[in-house]
Amino acid sequence: MSASPIEAIKAKIDIAEEIGQVVRLQKSGKALKGLCPFHNERTPSFYVFPEAQTFRCFGCNEGGDVFSFVQKQQGLEFRDTLHYLAEKAGVTVEDTPGRDPEEERERSALKERLRKLNEDALLWFHQALLRSKEASEARAYVQSRGISSESVLAFSLGYAPESWDGLSRYLLTQGYTERELVQGGLAREREGAIATEGGNGIYDYFRNRLIFPIRDTRGRVIGFGGRALGDGKPKYLNSPQTPLFEKNTVLYAIDMARDAIKQAGQVVIVEGYVDAVIAHQYGTRQTVACIGSAITEKHIQQLKKLTKQVTLALDPDAAGSAATEHGIQEALKGFDKTVVAVPLAGNATTQRRSKNGPASRGMIMLEEQVDAEINVLQLPLGEDPDEVIRRDFSLWLYAVSHPLPLIDYYFVVKTEDLNLREPHGKTEAAKRLLPVIGMMSDRIKRDAYMRKLATMISIDERTLYEELQRVLRNQKTQGVTAAFVDSKTQKQARVGTQETREPTWLNDGKEGNDGGRGGKGEESYTQSTTVTNSTVPYVSIDKSKADKLQWEDYLIGLLLQNPGLSPYVCGIIHDGDFAGTDTRELYHILNVLYQRGSSPSYQSLEQFVPVELQSAVARVQQSVESRSPLDGVGQVKAAVQCATRLKRTRLVQLNTELQYLLREAVDSGDRAGIQQLQQQLIEVHQQLRTIDSATHLQG
């Protein structure tokens, strides 16, 4: 069996080299350290471990392999990360198994050609705006909208003249074919005319328009937006769908906003190109524009990688309001139903407070919780963002930093047309708002909004709660409680071939020097400032790594077989706990699907899993099929057990890393560092103990 492309890439790309391109790393023993690119810090807590080919920030807890790093740092989808790294490593990734490789090559050659075409077109448009005589109206328009000449250059704004084939003729002289121009969305075929080489079968797609080049996150031109000058229709015309330009995913200015979004911890989404340009020009560079009228889930998925604070700044006119409402629904789909774990007593803080209260340890409660804050920017009625910015920038800045929480916005919008003093208005308000409130998983927040609604329509809170219960019953179950199962049944539940490998479960500690169980007690953590010549292995790829990966396969296989297992598992682990790159991504996809409420049966799953991961899917399915079948209860037990193993492995690894750093800190006499690391070790140790006592309950 040949190695997967992921393994091939990992073999060829050195994580230290890859990270070294964006983070200044300095040697620190066998590790490297630098300032974390994912959070703001002055002293380095970001480490790269070349031997294990992993990284971890001990400040913000980001960590993983080279895939996780690139994905997070560049804000890419897994698939794009795979192709990006494959290209760098010179590894071929089969794009679509079964598809003709020749066809595949042609397709990527076409894309490459169209990128070049776009670059040439951009230059031509841009020069036209800067120099051509016909562009005077366009230049006047640019000025009237307050766009500075710096912005014109920074955004490479352009002009498409009125003439029918100015751009086409130019591009044909540059060696492009008519067919390519049409494929690239820069020209249209003349009615009835057959495009013949050298013929006159095409005309320009954009005419008499101000041109806004649209780039992808990596800054490559993928299409154009054109605003009509004069009374041309439609007012805004975007590139048609092309191999490069996928309308529903494009965010204008994302390339220029990306870093600012991460820095500001917020993204502001506006509707118009000019709004975005002006926002950048005045310094709110965390702004992007959505192309077309609606925000789609694909937009949100991209942005979610950069920030969890999404501020919608959409035009407050009628169309804008509809778009906002739709945008909000899309946003909710992407964000709202992420399951977040709330370990009750297993939580380190609780333990610190009451060392003798182990009663509910091992109980894990999962709760759906909003994973991002979605806010709506409140602007003066009838004013576009760019107008507000130019008229009163401080007003804009205030609005950006004090947006209205989504639910409050709903309260305003949903009741605007109602008379809340009349019975009908009250009933209607409750009818419209209760489902929204019901979606909130945070009970404290939910109660607050229930009070708000009760006050707003002057109705007894209790009555309102009864009504809410009715609404909730019709909505999806909000929370799931998963208890670790009791010891005897657990043993029986151990599955098929698992039995033979069972000892690894307990061996984890020894391999990784966890110290969390057995002879090595807490002392070995807290006093390990003196452990300079211990036998603690340097952070290394675990000897039983293959074994661990098999557990990951098995867990994913179980989840594929029964998506209903998700809530039992996601309270214990998260994406970052997986050591396998493909299992991590599959887990991520399954979680998203589960939270979205779609059940990934074998058939539909294939729509969501990138083709590059299909072989991994087959592998994990095999992993389950090779074991004896389980009933529902057995599946839950097996899944919980796998997840706990995974978590433990991760913690043990973390412990090893911290021990290593601690020795470094001791060697260099870094007192503050020592203290910090010791604290972190204690926390890891406590988490390990929580897991171990839970496992102990199982037997």
Least distance (Å) between residue 57 CB and Zn ion: 3
Q: Which is nearer to Zn ion, 59 or 425 (CB)?
A: 59
User: Which of 8, 14, 29, 38 touches Zn ion (CB under 5 A)?
Assistant: 38
Query: Residues 6 or more apart from 157 whose CB is under 8 A from it?
Result: 126, 129, 142, 147, 151, 210, 211, 212, 213, 277
Question: Which residue stretch of 34-42, 78-86, 307-315, 591-599 sits at the interface with Zn ion (rule: CB under 5 A)?
Answer: 34-42
Least distance (Å) between residue 41 CB and Zn ion: 7
Question: What span, in angstroms and rounded, lies between the C-alpha atoms of 152 and 165?
Answer: 24
Q: Backbone phi, then psi, for 663, in 5-degree steps?
A: -60, -40
Q: Which is nearer to Zn ion, 61 or 143 (CB)?
A: 61
Q: Which is nearer to Zn ion, 57 or 388 (CB)?
A: 57
Q: Does 57 bind Zn ion (CB under 5 A)?
A: yes
Q: Does 36 bind Zn ion (CB under 5 A)?
A: yes
Q: Does 576 bind Zn ion (CB under 5 A)?
A: no
Closest alpha carbon to 678 in 517, 520, 508, 522: 522
Q: Which is nearer to Zn ion, 15 or 36 (CB)?
A: 36
Q: Could you tell me where the beta strands, DSSP code E, fall in 21-104? A: 26-28, 31-34, 46-49, 54-57, 63-64
Strand order across the 54-57 sheet: 26-28, 31-34, 46-49, 54-57, 63-64
User: In the numeric block, which tokens belong to residue 522?
Assistant: 């807490």
Question: What span, in angstroms and rounded, lies between the C-alpha atoms of 39 and 683?
Answer: 21
Least distance (Å) between residue 118 CB and Zn ion: 36
Q: Does 60 bind Zn ion (CB under 5 A)?
A: yes
Closest alpha carbon to 691 in 364, 366, 367, 368: 364
Q: Which is nearer to Zn ion, 199 or 265 (CB)?
A: 265
Question: Which residue stretch of 33-41, 278-286, 403-411, 435-443 sits at the interface with Zn ion (rule: CB under 5 A)?
Answer: 33-41
Least distance (Å) between residue 477 CB and Zn ion: 35
Question: Which residue stretch of 58-66, 133-141, 525-533, 612-620 sits at the interface with Zn ion (rule: CB under 5 A)?
Answer: 58-66
Question: What span, in angstroms and rounded, lies between the C-alpha atoms of 569 and 143?
Answer: 57
Question: Which residue stretch of 39-47, 244-252, 519-527, 616-624 sits at the interface with Zn ion (rule: CB under 5 A)?
Answer: 39-47
Question: Which residue stretch of 31-39, 136-144, 189-197, 279-287 sits at the interface with Zn ion (rule: CB under 5 A)?
Answer: 31-39
- How many residues form the binding site for Zn ion (CB under 5 A)? 6
Q: Which is nearer to Zn ion, 60 or 483 (CB)?
A: 60
Least distance (Å) between residue 45 CB and Zn ion: 6
Q: Does 20 bind Zn ion (CB under 5 A)?
A: no
User: In the numeric block, which tokens belong to residue 342?
Assistant: 């709330």
Least distance (Å) between residue 37 CB and Zn ion: 8
What's the Rg (C-alpha) of the chain? 28
Question: What span, in angstroms and rounded, lies between the C-alpha atoms of 158 and 250?
Answer: 19
Least distance (Å) between residue 19 CB and Zn ion: 12
Q: How many CB atoms lie within 10 A of CB 30?
A: 13
User: Which of 39, 190, 247, 298 touches Zn ion (CB under 5 A)?
Assistant: 39
* Under 8 Å between Cβ of 46 and 63: no
Q: Please list every residue from 195 through 234 that binds Zn ion, using CB under 5 A.
A: none
Question: What span, in angstroms and rounded, lies between the C-alpha atoms of 84 and 231?
Answer: 43
The residues that touch Zn ion, with contacts defined as CB under 5 A, are 36, 38-39, 57, 59-60
